[in-house]
Chain A
Amino acid sequence: QSALTQPRSVSGSPGQSVTISCTGTSSDVGGYDYVSWYQQQPGKAPKLMIYDVSKRPSGVPNRFSGSKSGNTASLTISGLQAEDEADYYCCSYAGNYTLVFGGGTKVTVL
């Protein structure tokens, strides 16, 4: 069970869109529509932003969206805001009742 692959960092200016990829295999991301995304501010617990690939919990701004194609899931932040600067982690069901996280991506708002 290997960690899902995410870019170490992405950046964008306020108002722009950024997309974070999360690449796995057919045994995890590609095999199930069970991918979630978490935002983690420094020193804080992760916060659920997207679940079941593309669903948003209540209270999460609609500028956050999720999608999946093959073995790669993506999180897009549209209309980037300063408060979106944080670390983001993907998580996937990996079969045999196990979960696997991505390595994390740092989003910087320029």
Chain B
Amino acid sequence: QLQLQESGPGLVKPSETLSLTCTVSGGSITSYYWGWIRQPPGKGLEWIGSIYYTGSTYYNPSLKSRVTVSVDTSKNQFSLRLNSVTAADTAVYYCARHPSMTTVTLSYWGQGTQVTVSS
């Protein structure tokens, strides 16, 4: 059974960079797209960006200037970096798998990790 697990600091200071990693187990990271989605407290889901295992990236236009998603196929991991964070970036961050950039079939999700932006 495919499993995704987010990891990273739970507390980030304003203006600094948020860095998270998603480790994929029970299957290979190849041949799929891998995405990051976040959910601010009490609010809805927001797609941040996705990456194909070859390294091609796709970003939410509203976050594009601050986001970098990368992949390490040797470790079966992909990562998120969000720079210049503010309190508005406080959220639960999820990683998920989808079969293509057009079919929005997010069939596997990590459990999510809470990130708080605060000094």
A: which residues have CB within 8 A of B? 1, 3, 32, 34-36, 38, 44-48, 51-52, 57, 89, 91-93, 97-104
Q: What residues of A have a CB within 8 angstroms of the CB of B110 in the complex? A: 45
Q: How many residues in B have their beta carbons less than 8 Å from beta carbons of A?
A: 25
Chain B 52-75: CB-based contact to A (< 8 A → 1; otherwise 0)? 000000111110000000000000
Q: What residues of B have a CB within 8 angstroms of the CB of A32 in the complex? A: 102
Q: What residues of B have a CB within 8 angstroms of the CB of A38 in the complex? A: 45, 106
B: which residues have CB within 8 A of A? 35, 37, 43-47, 50, 58-62, 94, 101-107, 109-112
Q: What residues of A have a CB within 8 angstroms of the CB of B111 in the complex? A: 44-45
User: How many A-B pairs with Cβ below 8 Å?
Assistant: 70
Q: Is the CB of A104 within 8 A of B106?
A: no
- A101's partner among B44, B50, B107 (CB-CB below 8 A) is B44
Q: Is the CB of B104 within 8 A of A34?
A: yes
The residue among B47, B106, B112 with the most chain A CB atoms within 10 A of its own CB is B106
Cα–Cα, bound, A93→B33 (Å): 14
Q: Is the CB of A93 within 8 A of B44?
A: no
Q: What residues of B have a CB within 8 angstroms of the CB of A48 in the complex? A: 105-107
Q: Is the CB of A45 within 8 A of B94?
A: yes
Q: What residues of A have a CB within 8 angstroms of the CB of B35 in the complex? A: 99
Q: Is the CB of B106 within 8 A of A98?
A: no
- B105's partner among A36, A45, A98, A102 (CB-CB below 8 A) is A36
Take A1-B61, A99-B47, A101-B44 as given contacts and tell me if A52 and B105 are in contact as well, using a CB distance cutoff of 8 Å: yes
